[in-house]
Amino acid sequence: MRLPELKSEYIWAVMMIFFLIPAIHPIGLPFPMDPVTYEVYNIIESLPEGSIVVMGGGGVFAFDLESSAGMIAMIKQMARKGLRLVTCPVWTEAPQFHKYVIDAARVDKDKYGGPWEYGVDYVLLPYMPGGDMVVFDSFLKDVHATVSVDLAGTPIDELPLMQDLHDYHDIALWICPHWGFVSVIRIVAAQYGITCISPAQSTAYAFFSPFMEAYPGKVYMLNGYVGGAQYEALVGIKGLGHKVMDSYAFASTLIVLFIVLGNITMLSRMGGEEE
């Protein structure tokens, strides 16, 4: 018995459908949890209400999108905990990315009815030129001497949150969802002793995860979409991380299935030729 040919256009159509299903409605298929993800979650969970967290660094938006899964979940957790967030962008695309992840978390009171009020609970600062490590050092020594206005041009002295942020003593935690995590480690963690977390791209994780051993208790990383999905699970949401992990699981299963079907089809045709 000869089986019908598996046409490539049908294979790709099926693959596309199973990619789109979790993109529209993530299922939440199981995946392993990393102990470091639990540690990061507990660090943020243990911060006192009103603590100031800085989201800072630099990278290219296209690459940093992988980091947004974990970063969005962290922002949701921080908003629930009553923590406050200030951005510190040192690459030109970072301000856009910072605004994107905060908007995606839907925590703004005016836009989404969330718990955060701009200027009181979070502040978006503009791109700060001069080199990342130089800017970090200046920012940690004297925030108001480093930057004078927010992203919209409002003097930061007029923003209630910025009246409580003057230097590194006022920063409880630094989060870097960017490729440029090494500069953060060298200045923020190594010189000023602030705990640093990176919901990193998987490539950045492969390069920079040894810093977790070099700075135990001070440097933590989440591994790409996998780490993002793990963090979403702890926060109790199914976001971009779950969508990607579900798509990977479906695609991996389908590839094996099509390989098996392709071999069965080939064997059935060989048998037909022999007859």
Q: How many domains does the chain have?
A: 2
Q: Give residue 61's Cα distance to chain centre.
A: 11
User: What dihedral do alpha carbons 195, 120, 144, 168 form, nearest 10°?
Assistant: -20
Kindly tell me if the per-residue pLDDT of 272 is higher than 60. Answer: no
Residues 10 and 68 in one domain: no
Q: Where are the beta strands (DSSP E) in the chain?
A: 52-57, 84-89, 122-123, 173-175, 196-200, 219-223
- Do the domain assignments include residue 244? no
Which residues face 108 on adjacent strands?
116
What is the reported pLDDT for 96? 94
Tens of pLDDT, residue by residue over 77-130, are 999 999 999 999 999 999 999 999 999 999 999 999 999 999 999 999 999 999
57 neighbors 92 (Cβ within 8 angstroms):
no
Q: 101, 239 in Cβ contact below 8 A?
A: no
Q: Same structural domain for residues 216 and 264?
A: no
The answer to whether 36 touches 220, Cβ cutoff 8 Å, is yes
Count of beta carbons in the 10 Å neighbourhood of residue 24? 7
Residue-level pLDDT at 5: 64
Asked whether the predicted pLDDT for residue 263 surpasses 90, the reply is no
The verdict on 146 and 212 lying in the same domain is yes
Residue 160 maps to which CATH number? 3.40.50
Share of the chain above pLDDT 70, in %: 95
85 and 103 belong to one structural domain: yes
Higher pLDDT, 8 or 71: 71
127-149 pLDDT, tens digit each: 999 989 999 999 999 999 999 99
| Domain membership flag for residue 243 | no
pLDDT for 199 equals 96
Q: How far is CA 3 from the centre of its chain?
A: 46
Residue 224 lies in a domain: yes
The whole-number average pLDDT for the span 17-37 is 83
Residues of the domain holding 206: 31-237
pLDDT at 1: 52
